[in-house]
């Protein structure tokens, strides 16, 4: 087994953090609905919409934790879903950086920072070498 580079380890940790965030957000939404009921405009705050939202965030978080396991085991397959996840985070977080609430702006800024760092680390030559080392004959 090849040694894990620090960048690949950092990608695994980043993926776990992001996965835990999305799982936590799904639980937060579920608890909010159970405590306060459906609040907000009916178009987005109805039982099917909230159920779908909780399921999507939970699946997204669980998938990122599986991707973290792939990074930790230095598997090439971890790169593609991780890149996709970072792009999705950017699509959501970049517009939120100009939100009116400071909590939303801070969370969005952290999300953007983590996604950019993740993308940069993913495509550094040393990360590619570590992922391709698995294919080299011993």
| Beta-carbon contacts of residue 95 (< 8 Å; ≥ 6 apart) | 108
Q: Does residue 21 fall inside a structural domain?
A: yes
Asked if 114 and 14 count as a contact pair (C-beta separation under 8 A), the reply is yes
Q: Does residue 1 fall inside a structural domain?
A: no
Q: Tokens representing 21?
A: 């965030």
Q: Does residue 75 fall inside a structural domain?
A: yes
Does residue 2 have a pLDDT over 60?
no
Q: Which domain holds residue 117?
A: 6-135
**Whole-model pTM?**
0.84
Q: Does residue 48 fall inside a structural domain?
A: yes
Q: How many structural domains are present in the chain?
A: 1
Count of alpha carbons within 13 angstroms of residue 59, beta-carbon side:
7
Q: Choose among 96, 130, 131: nearest CA to 113.
A: 96
Can you tell me whether residue 130 is helix, strand or coil? helix
| Beta-carbon contacts of residue 92 (< 8 Å; ≥ 6 apart) | 111
Condensed to tens digits (0 to 9), the pLDDT of residues 22-62 reads: 999 899 888 988 887 777 667 667 888 889 989 999 999 99
Q: Does residue 82 fall inside a structural domain?
A: yes
| Beta-carbon contacts of residue 37 (< 8 Å; ≥ 6 apart) | none
């Amino acid at each position: 087994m090849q040694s894990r580079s620090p960048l690949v380890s950092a990608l695994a940790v980043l993926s776990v953090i992001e996965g835990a965030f999305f799982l936590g957000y799904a639980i937060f939404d579920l608890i909010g609905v159970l405590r306060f009921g459906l609040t907000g405009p009916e178009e987005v705050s109805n039982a099917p919409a909230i159920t779908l939202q909780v399921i999507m965030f939970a699946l997204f978080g669980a998938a990122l934790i599986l991707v973290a396991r792939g990074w930790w085991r230095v598997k090439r397959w971890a790169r593609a879903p991780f890149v996709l996840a970072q792009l999705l985070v950017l699509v959501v977080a970049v517009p939120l950086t100009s939100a009116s609430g400071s909590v939303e702006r801070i969370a969005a800024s952290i999300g953007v920072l983590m996604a950019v760092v993740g993308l940069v680390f993913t495509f550094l030559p040393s990360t590619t070498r570590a992922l391709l080392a698995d294919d080299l004959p011993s």
